[in-house]
A and B are shown apart, each in its own frame.
Chain A
Amino acid sequence: MGDFYSYFFDHLPNVWSGLWVTIEATVLGAIVALALSFAFGFMANSRHVLVRGVSRVIVEFFRGTSLYVQLFWLYYAFPLLFSYELTPLFCGVVAFGMNYGAYGSEVVRGALNAVPKGQWEAAVALNMTPAQRMRRVILPQAWVQMIPPFTNLLIQLLKATPLLWLITAADLTTVIQQMRDRTGETTWAYLTLLVMYFILAYALTLLMNLLERHAKTRLGQHTSARSLLRSRSAESAEKAEVAQATGGGG
C-alpha cells in the first residue's frame, strides 16, 4: 500500500492531467448529449411524420448498437473510410454525445408530454407564439422533470469514460493503470481509482441537485437544503435506467 501511495503523491501532476481528460470528456460529452437530446426530443414530438420517423430511426440506431462498438467504429473504422484521423478525445466526445443524446431524447420527449394539456391550451388561449409558449410555460415545467433522469444519464456517461483508455486517450484510468504497472500494487491502485470515480459521481450528483433546486424554485416549489445531499433517488434511478434500456423515459 505504501509504495503505491508514495508513487501516487510523487506524481500528482499526472493524476491531475488524467483527471482533467476524464472531466473534459464527461463535460463535453454531456454538452453534445444535451443538445442532441433536445434536438431529437423535439423532433419526436413533431407534427410531421417524416421528422418523427427520422428522429426515431437515429435514436433507435444509437441505442441499439453498443456504445463500445460505436466508439471503436469511430476510432478504427472512420479513419479508414474517410481517410481522416480523429483524436481519441474527440471520438469519445462524439460517441458519448450520440449515445447518451439518444437516451436523453426519450427523457425530453417524456417530460414534454408530461406537462399537463391544460398548460398548452392556456398558453394558446393567451395568444402566445409557439416559441413563447415553449420558453415561458412548457420548458420550465418539463425541465424540472428532466433533471433527475438526466443526472442518471450523466453518471452513466462518467462511468463510460474509462473506455477512453482503450483508444489511447490518457484519462484517469490510463494514468492509474500506469501507476499500477510501475508499483505492482494492484488492489490499492484499483480501489483508489474506483474511489476517485465515486467522488466524481457524487460531486456531479450534488451539482445536479443544486440545478434541480434552482429549477424548482423558479416554479415556486421550495425544497429543503437537506435534499441537496441526497444521492440519486431510487425511483428516478430506476426510471432513467429503464428509460435507457427501452425509451420509456419521464
Chain B
Amino acid sequence: MKSFSTLASLPGRLLLGSAAALTLLACDPDNDPNPGPAPVVTNSVFVINEGNFGRSNADISLFSKASNSVINKSLFASVNKMPLGDVAQSMAVRDSLGYIVVNNSNKLEVVSLFKFKSKATVKDLKLPRYFVAASSDKGYVTETVSYTTTFGQVSVIDLKTNQVTRSIAVGKQPEQLVVVGSRLYVTNNGDNTVTVINTTTDVVEGTITVGDGPNSVVADRNGRVWVLNSGKIVYNPNPTRLSKGSLSQIVPGQLTATTREMPSDQSSPGNLTINGSLDQLYYTYLGGVYTLGINEATLPTQPLIKRGGFYGLGVDPQDGTIYGGLASFSSADKVIRFKSTGAAIDSFTVLAGPNGFVFY
C-alpha cells in the first residue's frame, strides 16, 4: 500500500461524483489492515450544470450544507462577469483549486474555491471530458478529440504553469479517469478497455479489457479500481436496444479485470460513485440508484432508491447523503437529496443538466 502513503500527504478534501478523483488520507478502522481515508468535513456542494449544447449556459451552482439552500445558482458567471462556457462536463478539486472541464468550449477553467475567481484557463483542448490531479504539479484530462477517430487522448497538464506538456493516445472516447499510486486508469468509453498509464513516465503500461462502454471509475480503500460499463447500443435493426452493462474490478498492478454482468439490457448503468470510507459503491441503473459493498459477491437486484432516473449522482463523503441530479435540459432542473438509507430528504433547483457534484 505504498501507493496510498504517497497520496496521504494530500488534503482531505475530496471530490466524488462525476470526476471521481480521489485523494486519500490514512486512518485505521478496526480490523482493517488497509489504511482507509480519514473522516472529512464538507461544507459546500458544487453542482455542475452541464447546460444546453451550443448555448454557452453551463455554470456551477453553490449549495450550502449549513443553510440547506442554493446560495448562488450561477456561481461562475456572477463572480467572473462572463459565462463559464458551453457544456460543463465535470469538475475536480486539487488543493484549493477547482478544475472545470468545459467540453464544447475546449477548455479547462481553473478557479479558486474560496471565491470562485478564474485563475487560469487551459485552452485549445480537444473536446475535453474529465480531469484528475495526480499531484499538486501534474494533472490529466481526457479528450475525445473527434467522434470519428479511433483514438482519443489524455493530455498532461503542468498545474504550476497550466500548460499542456504532452498528449498520450488512448482508446476511443476516453471518459473518467482515476489515479491509484503511480498509475492512471482511463476508461475508453467507445471501446471496452481501460488504458493504464504510468504517472511517473507518462507512458502507457497496458490496456485492460473490461465490458462494453466503460463510463465511470473509482478506487476503493484497498486500491482496487472499479469500472462501470454502460453496455452499447445495438440496432436490431429497430427499435434501439442495448447490450448488457457490467461492473469490472481491477487489482492494482494487474492488467486483467474481473467483470460481472448486469441483469437487464433495458438500461445503461452509469455514474459509479463511492462513499467517504471508500467501501460502498453507488450507481444509477434502471431508473434508480443501486449500491453494493466492495466485498459483496453479487450485484444488487433491488435498488436503494427506486425513483430518479438521475443524470448526475454524488455521495457526500462526510455523511453519505446521496445527491441525485434530474436533467430535463428544458426547465430549471432539480437535485434531490436522500439519506444514506435511501429516504428522500429534500430537493433544490439548479440550472439545466446537473451532471455531477463536488463536496468541499
* Bound together: no
